[in-house]
Amino acid sequence: MSQQRVRFTEHFNAAPARVFPYFACHETFGAMAGGPVAAKLRFIRRIRLGEDIKHPDGVGSVRRIAYGPLGFEETVRTSTPGKLIEYAITKGSPLKNHFGRIEFHADGGGTRVDYVITFEPKLPGTGMVLKGVLKRMISPAFGRIRKAIATA
């Protein structure tokens, strides 16, 4: 099956150290991606702490993303505050070989975020549909994060 790629490049008017936590904290990112209803329902939540007690959502942490009874788990593989987050789906999902990489770059007094997700669909012919679902699921987060940063 063919590998699919979803890419987002966004700019934020804040330093990487201020932007990074919105992506790194599982519950915060869940609220940003899904909005108030998702925040209330906790559709993204941490289910295992990371290896470093100072960074509970860092390397080794696991988040569950669920819509009712359907869900999957992602494990953080790399987390360098203000610079990089890498994660992979480790349980469940209609995707295989799923890998997410979020890079944070200082850019003109703000931050450029490069977010790339690669995956292969488990079912032939579903790649484009799943790619669209991922885009629709994640895209709203960027505007909500901008608004949160502006009002913080």
Q: What is the mean pLDDT of residues 44-68?
A: 89
pLDDT digits 0-9 by tens, 82-132: 999 999 999 887 788 999 999 999 998 899 999 999 999 888 888 898 899
Range ranked top by mean pLDDT from 18-22, 38-42, 61-65, 139-143: 18-22
pLDDT higher than 80, residue 76: yes
Nearest 5°: phi and psi at 123? -100, 125
Q: What is the mean pLDDT of residues 62-80?
A: 87
Range ranked top by mean pLDDT from 38-42, 54-58, 64-68: 54-58
Domains contained in the chain, CATH given: 4-151 (3.30.530.20)
Integer-rounded Cα Rg, in Å, for the chain is 15
Between 10 and 130, the more confident residue is 10
CA distances in angstroms from 147 to 14, 32, 49, 92, 110, listed in the order given: 11, 10, 28, 32, 14
Nearest 5°: phi and psi at 112? -100, 125
